Structure 1
Amino acid sequence: MSIADRDLVIIAAEAGAAEVRSRHGEALTRFEKTAGDFATAVDIDAERVILDVLRAARPDDVMVGEESGRSGSDGNGRVWLVDPLCGTLNYAVRGTLVSVNVALRAGAETLVAASADPFTEEIFWTDGAGAYVRRAGVDEPLTPSAESGLVDVNLDPPFPNDPAFQAVRLLADRGFVARFRPRVVSTTLAVAWVAAGRRAAYVTDGQLRDSVHFASGIALCQAAGCVVTGIEGQPFHLGVGGLVVAADEETHATLLGQIENQRSAAAR
């Protein structure tokens, strides 16, 4: 019997999360990728577990894993994006702020996506129409809210818009600190938290189209009704890139104004 994509993405993310959770606290072998970036044996093993689940159910689909790259033919236009452990450095120092991200793209559309928190055992997921969190097998709709005033700011490279835009400068902006309270968790789990009402917004630099790290969180936020654009208010995959995800229009407009202020200052 065939399994639906919406169920498969949850099963795959849960499988990866179980691997991450079961290995927490181990002495980890590190594999250097680029300067300051590395994978661990758990990243690699969790990705293998996820890909095994997906390939068994969808052998004709393309798979793109953060660690293993692209595999499969492009015949049917369906591409699974797999980020097996977002927050590797957090995890490597025995932290628990991490996410396991799985998304299915067809052309420009994300059909289904899931971001799993291995340690709360929550699965944030979307079927493209609605956005939900699953706890102990029970689904609840995600409801964005700006009430917390918490804005997660990603300070990890790359920074393609430096020096015109540096996310870190938001933290010293008087308007920002008067309106919001910054948080830096260094994992895209925080993007899902905007959809869930646990963050008012999320801001990052970078080119994010078809990103294994961000595809799931972006899809969740779009399905939940968040405002999702690039740092100039454009579609997030166009122009200078970056990402501003906000719970509502007012929060989004405020952040765009603060970003424009620093871009204008850098141009002087």
Structure 2
Amino acid sequence: MINSTVGLDDVDVAIAAARAGAEAVRARYGQRLTRVDKGAGDFATEADVAAEEAILDVIRAARPDDAVHGEEGGQRGAADAVRQWWVDPLCGTLNYAVGTMLVAVNVALRDGPAAVADPFSGEVFFTDGATAWVRRDGSDTRLAPTAANGLVDVNLDPPFPSAPGFRAVDLLAHPGFVATFRPRVVSTTLALAWVAAGKRAAYVTDGGDLTGSVHFAAGIALCRAAGCVVTGVDGAPTGPAGRGLVVAADAGTHALLLSMIRAEARAVTS
């Protein structure tokens, strides 16, 4: 691995790392895996840990001085390092543990390149920070968001930090939502890559500031580079004071979803 990473630029490191993680995930699929309890119903598996180690091997070989924050191993190197990699080795662990092939491997350099690998389709979605692409069967295709399919992925997993003002599940009760869109629940941030790729019209999730989250950093970077509209659920820019995400393929879809979110919030608090 050390020889194979010599001379790679940052976007190539992100792609190689995501691919290494995806290989570890795919190799263990369907096996009986030990679970590590994280509390509150959350857990990791041997596949999560193995994928993170595979990703770390790539980053350490190519960028030994960089810091890394991993979902499983925590912080390695200075938390305030200028060069910090965010690693989510298996987003969708519960899906994976029950045999559902809807997961993502997320690798992102803060304020830089990022890659999201789908272990089962073989696709790697990536960005150099300016443009976004998908690599499939050795060919790269520019990502082109579109809302034409009308599919909106809504994260229904608790907790709901914006409740009672907003819960993502409440959006499904808005009559205009089901009249305009078709809800989907993938339960993995692979859905963000799908918005960038035109496989989803939008993605909505509750939460705080997700821009520095190992789960969301790579997907957000992809969507921004692809030209998607990215804000919090309140329509404000994402950042330290942010609240969740509304990521849409175009401005019209984004505005419509925000109007529905605000209508549901008013109905709950009135």
1:209 CA displacement: 3.0
- C-alpha distance in 2 between matches for 1:209 and 1:219: 9
Structure 2 residue runs without a partner (length 5+): 1-5
1:154 aligns with 2:161: no
Query: Paired residues, what number?
Result: 264
Report if the CA contact (8 A) 1:46-1:84 is conserved. yes
1:103 CA displacement: 0.1
SS of aligned partner of 1:111: coil
1:34 CA displacement: 1.8
Report if the CA contact (8 A) 1:161-1:240 is conserved. no
Structure 1 residue runs without a partner (length 5+): none
The one-letter code of the counterpart of 1:261 is: A
What is the correspondence of 1:183-202 to structure 2 with a 5 Å cutoff?
183-202=184-203
- C-alpha distance in 2 between matches for 1:15 and 1:248: 33
SS of aligned partner of 2:117: strand
The one-letter code of the counterpart of 1:135 is: R
TM-score (normalizing by structure 1): 0.96
- C-alpha distance in 1 between matches for 2:159 and 2:254: 23
SS of aligned partner of 1:159: coil
1:215 aligns with 2:220: no
Which residue of the other structure, out of 244, 247, 252, is the alignment partner of 1:245? 247
State the Cα RMSD in Å: 1.1
- C-alpha distance in 2 between matches for 1:127 and 1:152: 25
- C-alpha distance in 2 between matches for 1:33 and 1:237: 26
Report if the CA contact (8 A) 1:103-1:113 is conserved. yes
What is the correspondence of 1:49-88 to structure 2 with a 5 Å cutoff?
49-73=54-78, 77-88=82-93
1:182 corresponds in structure 2 to 183
- C-alpha distance in 2 between matches for 1:173 and 1:150: 15
1:234 corresponds in structure 2 to 236
Report if the CA contact (8 A) 1:61-1:74 is conserved. no
1:139 corresponds in structure 2 to 140
Report if the CA contact (8 A) 2:211-2:220 is conserved. no
The one-letter code of the counterpart of 2:112 is: L
1:73 CA displacement: 3.2
Q: Which aligned segments of 4 or more residues in structure 1 are displaced greater than 6 angstroms? A: none
What CA deviation, in whole Å up to 9, does each residue of 1:195-253 have, x standing for no partner? 00000000000121310000011000000000000001111224351100000000000
1:263 corresponds in structure 2 to 265
1:20 corresponds in structure 2 to 25
2:130 corresponds in structure 1 to 129
